[in-house]
Structure 1
């Protein structure tokens, strides 16, 4: 009888050893937020969630939202574990644009990883815009109420030494209308990713398409770009509407989606999450055309919208991805966030009686002063 018990015990232990050791470190269920159903963010979150379920048995519920606040609130209120965000991750960390109101301000968010996505100034081929500098006086399509798109364009114009006053801003009510405006000859250029459906239409139209290059060795241009939006890096893109096979377009890479959590999320929890993201890569990397870019040598390094979480850094360092330069970048980014948070607390208390519109305008001016002092 004792031998049978012993055999049963050893057998049970061997069965446990045969299970993925890592599976016990992930929670049984998680909640993530993302962009709307049909978006790239939702598709990629779904593919990763499916991989987590197949490999570790973790059930993930994704809450889609078409608004940045809708993606952020569940995370900040503790109702979601992670959020697959766009540039609102940067904006809310700075208390900028939609988050410059008295009830928002800078928030302490942290990144786990973020897939690189390329963009540049994309012009109609007949607009005479070979370089960013050539956009002076040209019609540039912006999207009403969409600072995420517009501030990237402002940064790219700065690469060519231009400000918004140097171009003719044409405001369109929706993203789709702005992207298709060049084909209709209602604008000359815009700033976006190179694979939107409207750009394929432009490439096939009589106007044609051209990608203004953001050369990596243009140090002055990059310094000017990063002063406006310090979350981008040089990127060679070989998949773009109208780009001949074998050619490369010199663009900037930002991160979308950015897998985000709060700074007080447990280090071990985040370590387990990013390890799972790495170990299931082969299960989801073919989920969409862009998902191969989730490999951590690309998605787990700066520059990114917010500082990396310590749990993520611990794992990235273990697998040899994280460098001393990355440490320096992260420390600088934490310092910027903390400095803005302190400035916000003082500004908020002194100006709480202002109207929301005046408060936001005054804070954005104060924010600009604080950021300038850090450079």
Structure 2
């Protein structure tokens, strides 16, 4: 009997602690977020949510736009911003690949809070004479400097048609926003992006017009080539965005964007509070554009995503009955993968030091070490 009383008391104490933790989950008085640059869907959606929090919660939110992956993640790494409305740079940073293979980066311990399903395609000017992806050969296609998140998706779309960057005329631009502006200004024929971007709407209304060459989901060979570029891509039929509708859909690359992300060591109570506030102010931003219904927690609160979900977000998603056992299993697998990548990085660094490897050779060394030691 004494043991039963002790166990019961412990259970009550744990329950009280959990309630206290939830009660202490207060929204910060001010926050800084990063997002894609002005004119992008990510910036528009982040701005709408920020406005909702400022109206409903009296929380001040500042958004730092950037057209590059490094520009969006560096403020989070240095503590200048707490949250980012990010894309596949989350995956690249967690895996320490592309720009994040540099020694000053390495695998970043990032977490996702929410992320809506999105379609990504090559928006093509209607006067460029492109009907299928194969027609892109020789066309002017924007490539964004220091933005592997955009460029790898464009590369995957080209691969669907058996093309590479060598088969097109590359137009190098400094940012994602600049890549879309190049279409409107006539200096490019195609640029990769999400169809809801405001600049694509501008292109749609311009004399050039806009088309979205499809990646048919029944083209197995094409999709095999896509997945060799990025295993996390999947077909999606997109009906929302410039030049798209239920009557005029396009089959594009599916992924999550934007994903609201932060570092793993961000307070679980704070992440709980921010996730809760974003979900509970949904009615204030749901009509900003036709894509916003995908931000409902029952849609945006599930994996897969480019990193594990943060424990604070998971706590809230469980509380509202969204998080499932399957979600938890996925999250644990993704956490294990991240630990394996981090351990491999540390081991590779030790080996490089033992060999006195020149810094200029590090990225090639790490790529080879990854291939041999990580599946």
**TM-score > 0.5 by shorter chain:** yes
Structure 2 residue aligned with 1:358 = 361
**Which segments of 5 or more consecutive residues in structure 2 lack a partner in the other structure?**
1-21
Give the superposition deviation at 1:231.
4.0
Q: Distance in 1 between matches of 2:54 and 2:243?
A: 38
Q: Distance in 2 between matches of 1:116 and 1:309?
A: 18
Structure 1 residue aligned with 2:287 = 286
1:18-55 residue CA offsets vs partner (Å, 9 max, x unmatched): xxxx8863234242321377354444334323433443
What value does the CA root-mean-square deviation take over the aligned residues? 3.6
Secondary structure, counterpart of 1:306 in structure 2: coil
Q: Does 1:34 align with 2:37?
A: no
Q: Distance in 1 between matches of 2:130 and 2:326?
A: 36
Instruction: State whether residues 34 and 75 of structure 2, in contact with CA within 8 Å, keep that contact through their aligned partners in structure 1.
Output: no
Give the superposition deviation at 1:109.
0.6
Structure 2 residue aligned with 1:102 = 103
Q: Does 1:314 align with 2:315?
A: yes
Give the superposition deviation at 1:274.
1.9
Pair 1:178–1:224, CA change in 2 (3 A): same
Structure 2 residue aligned with 1:260 = 261
Following superposition of structure 1 onto structure 2, how do residues 205-354 of structure 1 map, counting pairs within 5 Å? 209-216=210-217, 221-243=222-244, 246-288=247-289, 290-351=291-352, 353-354=356-357
**Which segments of 5 or more consecutive residues in structure 1 lack a partner in the other structure?**
1-21
Give the superposition deviation at 1:134.
5.5
1:178-235 residue CA offsets vs partner (Å, 9 max, x unmatched): 4465678766544222244664565567775432223445566445434433444433
Secondary structure, counterpart of 1:301 in structure 2: coil
Instruction: State whether residues 42 and 64 of structure 1, in contact with CA within 8 Å, keep that contact through their aligned partners in structure 2.
Output: no
Structure 1 residue aligned with 2:193 = 192
Q: Distance in 2 between matches of 1:341 and 1:185?
A: 44
Q: Does 1:148 align with 2:127?
A: no
TM-score normalized with structure 2 length: 0.76
Name the count of aligned residue pairs: 350
Give the superposition deviation at 1:344.
1.2
Structure 1 residue aligned with 2:56 = 55
Instruction: State whether residues 34 and 41 of structure 1, in contact with CA within 8 Å, keep that contact through their aligned partners in structure 2.
Output: no
Deviates more, 1:179-188 or 1:89-98: 179-188
TM-score normalized with structure 1 length: 0.76
Structure 2 residue aligned with 1:17 = none
Pair 1:134–1:307, CA change in 2 (3 A): farther
Deviates more, 1:143-152 or 1:327-336: 327-336
Deviates more, 1:251-260 or 1:121-130: 121-130
Q: Distance in 1 between matches of 2:242 and 2:224?
A: 28
Deviates more, 1:135-144 or 1:340-349: 135-144
Give the superposition deviation at 1:127.
5.8
Pair 1:325–1:155, CA change in 2 (3 A): farther
Give the superposition deviation at 1:265.
3.1
Give the superposition deviation at 1:340.
1.8
Q: Distance in 2 between matches of 1:98 and 1:300?
A: 28
Give the superposition deviation at 1:83.
2.6
